[in-house]
Amino acid sequence: MSLHVDLKHRFRDFAVDLDFEVPEGITVLFGRSGSGKSTVIRAIAGLFKPDHARISLDGRVLCDSEAKLFLPPHKRRVGTIFQDARLFPHLTVAQNLDFGRRFSRRDVPEREVAQMVEMLGIGALLERRPDGLSGGEQQRVAIGRALLSGAELILADEPLAALDEGRKAEILPYFERLRDEIAIPVLYVSHSPAEVARLATTVIALEAGRVIGEGAADLVLSDPAVLPVGTAGAGALLRATVHAHHADGLTELSAGGAALFLPHLETPVGHPVRLRIAAQDVMLSLDRPTGLSALNILSGVVSQISPTQGAGVLVVLDTDAGRVLSQVTRRSVAALNLREGVRCHAVIKTVSIARDNIGA
């Protein structure tokens, strides 16, 4: 199942012009505020009529301006989740779910409802009304309602933005289960690099209504062309597997044959993990440094040097473990005489786990 979007629209002060594909898994639409993310979501959901658009879901046309075809929102089989859950306040959780189910074109068997309730962990909430639930619980019910309505695509427009850190942490795993257990595409809007790192199979980066980067999450997120979007969060996303748990409390990961060490992880040996290494946590050295407390040093070749704002430079290093970014000063680049093709070493201060199990 996949979504194809070809969209051009002009508001008085803003235009979108983009063409992209959303495969199965979670595709994150990433971009700063005002880049056009919600406009894209609203066009797909059918909440406004674009000037020019052709939007199709697995060949089923939702909107084709040439053919003057515009399916109304309730006929699109698209479930939309907004920042606020938008549940019906006078209905219980069970009734809210049932409302979604009535929109489905087929009879959703009880068994399937039960599975959904189990997956979202909302079994204990069924008889309660939305105003008694936390924001995270409300969002889980909203996801359930969207799924039970027979949606063939889930749109989520910054679904965690209104939640505090604790509630975010509570709901992220459910989006991961959506990604890993349900074979329908999810288009998820976010401007948080951490969220992207954790959830995305695919990333589409937007800037001023245009796509400036598109593809596998690890590649797009480490592409300097995309980084103006989230310079503060610039970093690499690496895929690794748990190699060993050592007696001194460290866990050893293997990423493309390179070893990386972290404080103990609960993840069993052999399991995949996603790592995030922030560019500001990586120093560069021409020689392999010794006598350092840093545990993780990766050797690689400089593939790109891009200026960022101020005195900063972003250096892209291709290592066996994948692409690693380092945020250094122009002065360091000059002092080390760094150029494309130069071999050097990334000294990594902190590696954090983006998430166990990448699902793909």
* Chain contacts with ligand ADP (rule: CB under 6 A): 11-12, 14, 31, 33-39
CB-side neighbour CA atoms (13 Å) of 323:
20
CB of residue 83 to ligand ADP, shortest distance in Å: 11
| Identity of the amino acid at 302 | V
Distances (CA, A) of 80 to 157, 163, 192, 255, 356: 8, 18, 19, 36, 27
Q: How many CB atoms are closer than 10 A to CB 213?
A: 20
CB of residue 226 to ligand ADP, shortest distance in Å: 15
Binding span for Mg ion by CB under 5 A among 35-43, 53-61, 197-205, 343-351: 35-43
Binding partner at 34 among Mg ion, ligand ADP, none, C-beta below 5 to 8 Å by kind:
ligand ADP
Q: Which is nearer to Mg ion, 37 or 239 (CB)?
A: 37
**Are β-strands 60-64 and 69-70 bridged in parallel, bridged antiparallel, or unpaired?**
antiparallel
Binding partner at 132 among ligand ADP, Mg ion, none, C-beta below 5 to 8 Å by kind:
none
Within 214-273, the residues that bind Mg ion by CB under 5 A are none
Q: How far apart are the first and last CA of the chain?
A: 15
Query: Applying CB under 5 A, does 38 fall inside the site for Mg ion?
Result: yes
Query: Applying CB under 5 A, does 95 fall inside the site for Mg ion?
Result: no
| Six-digit token string for 92 | 């219980």
H helix intervals, the chain = 37-45, 93-103, 110-120, 135-148, 165-181, 193-199, 217-221, 330-336
Binding partner at 130 among ligand ADP, Mg ion, none, C-beta below 5 to 8 Å by kind:
none
Q: Which is nearer to ligand ADP, 36 or 233 (CB)?
A: 36
Binding partner at 88 among Mg ion, ligand ADP, none, C-beta below 5 to 8 Å by kind:
none
CB of residue 273 to Mg ion, shortest distance in Å: 31
CB of residue 16 to ligand ADP, shortest distance in Å: 8
Q: Which is nearer to Mg ion, 9 or 37 (CB)?
A: 37
H helix intervals, 308-358 = 330-336
Nearest residue to Mg ion, using CB?
38
User: What residue has token string 């596998």?
Assistant: 216
Distances (CA, A) of 53 to 6, 23, 151: 5, 19, 21
CB of residue 158 to ligand ADP, shortest distance in Å: 8
CA angle, 351 then 354 then 355, to 5°: 125
CB of residue 157 to Mg ion, shortest distance in Å: 6
Q: Which is nearer to ligand ADP, 33 or 309 (CB)?
A: 33
SS3 content of the chain, % helix, strand, coil (to 5): 30, 35, 35
Q: Is 248 helix (H, G, I), strand (E, B) or coil?
A: coil
CB of residue 195 to Mg ion, shortest distance in Å: 14
Binding partner at 39 among Mg ion, ligand ADP, none, C-beta below 5 to 8 Å by kind:
ligand ADP
Binding partner at 213 among Mg ion, ligand ADP, none, C-beta below 5 to 8 Å by kind:
none
Q: Which is nearer to Mg ion, 20 or 82 (CB)?
A: 82
Query: Applying CB under 5 A, does 83 fall inside the site for Mg ion?
Result: no
Binding partner at 300 among ligand ADP, Mg ion, none, C-beta below 5 to 8 Å by kind:
none
CB of residue 5 to ligand ADP, shortest distance in Å: 14
Q: Which is nearer to ligand ADP, 83 or 352 (CB)?
A: 83
CB of residue 323 to Mg ion, shortest distance in Å: 29
CB 43 within 8 A of CB 53: yes
Is the torsion defined by CA of 129, 132, 156, 355 positive or negative? negative
Order the strands of the 153-157 sheet from edge to edge. 78-81, 153-157, 186-190, 26-30, 202-207, 210-216
Binding partner at 31 among ligand ADP, Mg ion, none, C-beta below 5 to 8 Å by kind:
ligand ADP
**Residues of this chain that bind Mg ion (CB under 5 A):** 37-38
